[in-house]
Amino acid sequence: IPVDEFDLVIFGATGDLAHRKILPGLYRRYVAGQIPASAQIIGAARTKQDDKAFREEARAAIREFAGKGDDLSQIDDFLNHLGYVAIDARGSDGWAELKSRIRPGVVHAFYFSVAPALFGDIAQRLAENGIADQHSRIVVEKPFGRDLATARDLNATLARHFAENQIYRIDHYLGKETVQNLMAVRFANMLFEPLWNAQYVDHVQITVAETVGVGGRGEYYDHSGAIRDMVQNHMMQLLCLIAMEPPYHFDPDAVRDEKLKVIRALEPLEPGDIVRGQYRGSPDGSDYLKDAENPDSRTESYVALKVNIANWRWTGTPFYLRTGKKLRARTSEIVVTFKAPPHSIFDESDGPRSNQLVIKLQPNEGMDLTVMIKEPGPGGMRLVQVPLDMSFADALGANGTDMPDAYERLIMDVIRGNQTLFMRGDEVEAAWAWTDPIIAEWEAGSKRPEPYDAGSSGPEEALRLLHRDNRRWREIR
Ligand code: BG6
């Protein structure tokens, strides 16, 4: 779908996110024919360099971070869209030049790919210099605060210069193909929604397992931990999409209103419903304390939670969430386990009897529904559980690498002016309001996270979180 003519300014254009995600993402959209002929992408950062030098920097970044299957033959043409302005976020240098580069009458988007401490300075200078107006859009990244108070401050800072409908808060999980598919599966089919409640769903598991550790970003991570880094944002968004009521329309505020209701309905967590872990002294030598360069760190690199949603639909159905670094496999999935039929007419007493819907988010996107059937053959009526397995890549004939990356999609949504996949300020604040007490309770104590080996499925304690409820985690593989 073509988008309107635009000028996109990337503050922090020489940084890691711009190199890894934003520039390669824009290039892929260019190859897909989605970047209009006169669109400008203007890098802005402190480094003094000219357009030419920035184009070379972008070329190197795209070469390094483009996907394996990407066609690199159009880089030169793409680079013609790029420009650069050296700018001082806290001073006056560069702002007049930036203003002279921006064209009137096209979509203006400003991507704040910088530390949150600079959001206020940049917003103010954009406004003071008459560069941004009430039609401009700004894009901000996580971390959006580190607790409720700082998130409120950030929201208030941005609100001084921009209205809520101009602010695009990125949670890149919302840009993932299958995450959006959650809404399609739930609300475009009759099959699941009638069963989607505590009467028929036994429990839900949400797993985001990673194989990477925190080496290289240990300092940032050690001040954050899995709850701030993954649960408050990405996992919370997944939980909302799985648990929310049907919005009346696929419209930004209708969707975000429903997500907000889920967050507000979360019960406060009991200390016994959370397990924190840290990868330690593993056979392969990896150790969180070394990676974090903090021998006393109590920061969790793994967390598992049992969450209850106190509303009519979900009371009685727990949601178990877990995420961690240095686990056995990189896999993100949501498993909805339905209740067993109330009565079995077959003689089998101990066979598996529950249907499970597994929604695989990554690495291979797809869905898997387990159903019971009769075991083929003359052996009488014996039941077996079989998967109805669907890989989206196979089913749709697309090869996985053709799926747009989350950032590509989200940046194009900004240009289109569609906020559905972005977090609203009140959602972010509600999520912090729920996680703050969990973090405060931990910080007030002196307990240490449970150790686990790199390459495992996390600490033993996390298994017990489900065992005590007579349930089991689905294996991480
Ligand atoms: C980021 C976190 O937001 O998400 C990282 O800061 C994490 O710690 C990453 O590794 C996971 O994203 P993805 O897309 O690789 O699942």
CA dist., res. 162 & res. 357, Å (int): 42
| pLDDT one-digit tens code per residue, 234-285 | 999 999 999 999 999 999 999 999 999 999 999 999 999 999 999 998 888 8
CA dist., res. 424 & res. 419, Å (int): 9
229: Cβ below 6 Å to ligand 1? yes
How close are the terminal C-alpha atoms of the chain, in Å? 37
| Confidence class for position 131, pLDDT limits 50, 70, 90 | very high
Q: What are phi and psi of 112, to 5 degrees?
A: -90, 80
Q: Does residue 472 surpass a pLDDT of 80?
A: yes
141: Cβ below 6 Å to ligand 1? no
CB 242 within 8 A of CB 206: yes
By CB atoms closer than 10 A (0-12, 13-18, 19+), residue 176 is buried
The DSSP call for residue 229 is: I
ipTM of the complex: 0.99
Please give the pLDDT value at position 383: 85
Please give the pLDDT value at position 374: 87
- Cα(217) to centroid(ligand 1), Å: 12
The DSSP call for residue 327 is: B
Coil/strand/helix, residue 197:
coil
Nearest to 432 by CA among 153, 179, 174: 153
Q: Does residue 450 surpass a pLDDT of 90?
A: yes
210: Cβ below 6 Å to ligand 1? yes
CA dist., res. 90 & res. 68, Å (int): 39
| pLDDT one-digit tens code per residue, 201-236 | 999 999 999 999 998 889 999 999 999 999 999 999
Which atom of ligand 1 has the smallest separation from the CA of 406? 14
- Cα(86) to centroid(ligand 1), Å: 29
- Cα(471) to centroid(ligand 1), Å: 28
Distances (CA, A) of 252 to 291, 412, 418: 40, 15, 7
| Confidence class for position 373, pLDDT limits 50, 70, 90 | confident
The DSSP call for residue 233 is: I
Please give the pLDDT value at position 400: 47
Total residues found in the chain within this entry: 477
| pLDDT one-digit tens code per residue, 90-125 | 999 999 999 999 999 999 999 999 999 999 999 999
Calculate the average pLDDT of the chain: 94
Is 68 assigned to a binding site?
A: no
| pLDDT one-digit tens code per residue, 141-175 | 989 999 999 999 999 999 999 999 999 999 999 99
Please give the pLDDT value at position 343: 85
CA dist., res. 373 & res. 32, Å (int): 44
Whether 234 is catalytic = yes
Q: Which of 161, 234, 343, 467 is catalytic?
A: 234
